[in-house]
Each structure stands twice: as structure tokens, then as C-alpha cells.
Structure 1
Amino acid sequence: MYNAQDNQGNGQISGKELSYVTDTFKNEELLAKLCIQGAVNSQSQSLKNALTHLSQERMQNMSILINSLQQQSGMTH
């Protein structure tokens, strides 16, 4: 994903990379919402558990993406 030549070695994320990260974040958010909705509507406890676990994984991925972007930009909370 990272190509130093695209950024002239300045360590900044390119527009294309930012677009990719944005799309990934949106996809993870959608998947988390769908898993939560499925868990709420499911009558099977094992399915509820699986969907809850999947939603937690998606939320963790979103947190990783945010933290990575903050580190890349030098931002803090």
C-alpha cells in the first residue's frame, strides 16, 4: 500500500492511500452495524454470540485504523 516514491519520501499518506483507508473504515463500520443488528434480531444464542464477537472485531479494526492515522499525522486525542 505505501509507496515512498509517490510521497517523495516525506512520510505522509497519499490521497489514494487516504481514500483506501476511508473506504476501509466505512466498510468496517457497516459490518459492525450489520453484526449488531443481526445479534439483536437473532433468536439463536450461539448466533448472537458470534455476531457480537464479529462486531467487536470490526470495532477493534476501526480503532486500529484511527490510531494508525493519528500516528501517521502526529495527532493525539
Structure 2
Amino acid sequence: MYNNQGNQTITGKELSYLSDTLKNEDLLAKLCVHASVGSQSPSLKQTMSQLSQERLQSVSILINTLQQQSGLTH
């Protein structure tokens, strides 16, 4: 699909996929935080904490990219 400016637009199916991806990344981040808090192993705690930060960074990058592509800002 193309908009009036000749750029490709995101389809409903793609938006659904992106929404699912964002939800999954959020869930993974929460699970990693939960595992980090509940872990007795310092190395596992550190790894889970790092993974949660990476997941949240992925969400942030995806949202920023979508905002740039759509011309939206907050």
C-alpha cells in the first residue's frame, strides 16, 4: 500500500503483527525481571537483568522507528 506521498504504509495485518511483537517483548522483559529478582545466583541475576534491559531497548527502538515512519511524535 502507498500513501499520497508515494511512501509505503503499514497494513492492518502488519500493525497486528507489530502489536503482538511489542506485547511479546514486554512480556519477555517482565519475565526476565521476575527471574532476576527471584534468583539466588548472582550470575543468573545479572544475565536476567541484562536481558530485560535489552528487551525494553528493543521495544523503544521499534516504537521510535514506527513514529519516524508515520511522522508521529509524542
Q: Which gives a bigger RCO, structure 1 or 2 (Cα 8 Å, sep 6+)?
A: 1
CA-atom RMSD in angstroms = 1.1
Q: Percent identity?
A: 65
TM-score of the pair, normalised by structure 1: 0.86
Aligned counterparts of 1:10 and 1:76: Cα–Cα separation in 2: 18
Aligned counterparts of 2:19 and 2:35: Cα–Cα separation in 1: 24
Aligned counterparts of 2:7 and 2:50: Cα–Cα separation in 1: 39
- Which runs of at least 4 in structure 1 moved beyond 4 Å after TM superposition? none
Aligned counterparts of 1:10 and 1:61: Cα–Cα separation in 2: 24
Which structure 2 residue ranges, 5 or more long, are not aligned?
Answer: none
TM-score of the pair, normalised by structure 2: 0.90
**Equivalenced residues, count:** 71
Match of 2:18 in 1: 21
